Amino acid sequence: MSDTSAMHHASTLRFDTVRVRYAGRDRHALDGVSFEARPGSITAVVGPNGSGKSTLVRALLRRVTPESGHIMLDETRVDGLEALALARRVAVVPQREEPVMPLEVEEFVALGRFPHRGAFGAPSPADRDAVLRAMRRAGIDDCAGRRTDSLSGGEWQRARIARALAQDTDVLVLDEPTTFLDIAHEMAVFELVDALAREGRTVLLVSHQLNLVARFATHIVLLDHGKVAAAGGADAVMRGDVLESVYEWPLVVTRDPAVGAPALLPLRGRLR
């Protein structure tokens, strides 16, 4: 048995023709985006800067309000859930954050238990067990007593993932979780996320790392100027003509020699 708390049936996360436009902008940041992230798999959202990837996460967190369309957890609309109810079902590792003040790593990870104990509840033995499990799972348990401001980039990223795991949700959303990480730490994060999905969680991963996404994701959604340019498995999305058009750079798609997944190789010389 894996070192996690018992998983109940995970929810399907669904974006249904979601449109978002920021104030003062002519163009929609999201323009009728539809897809679903299902339990037991990694659904990856990829695309160039400004394609709408982070707006998807902001809409899920209700930091922006869709002009139209809905975000659903199974048959429940996300905008109808109270904040704590949403936090019990969806954990998010945002792209960037700094703690307001340095905390011990164990204290920081324990913040993930807040939705389960309310504003004034003291941590229970179950909370502490969940925190220890999460740190062990994210490979950060040996840093428990260190301060967050003493962590390396890789350690800090794993601490943030551990906090999300301590939240004990069945839906996990990660926005660019490997930014600033070296190759070993990138691979470690993707391997961990893959293992979490295989246990039955619903994983939505926003990433620039197309080649790693092609290795690990079950379903890929390619965004371009707020619209879905392509969606499907790696072979359907990782096509030279599709990617060259979206990224506006000459490239070829070859095969990853290690696992046979499609792999993107950018070429020298910008498209005219």
- In order of their start, the domains of the chain are 8-89+171-181+202-272 (3.40.50.300)
Q: Determine the pLDDT at residue 270.
A: 63
Q: Determine the pLDDT at residue 5.
A: 44
Low-confidence ranges of the chain (pLDDT < 50): 1-6
Nearest CA among 110, 205, 206 for reference residue 165: 110
Q: Determine the pLDDT at residue 269.
A: 74
**How far is it, in rounded angstroms, from Cα 41 to Cα 32?**
23
Q: Determine the pLDDT at residue 268.
A: 87
For 242, counting Cβ atoms within 10 Å of its Cβ (0-12 exposed, 13-18 middle, 19+ buried), the class is middle
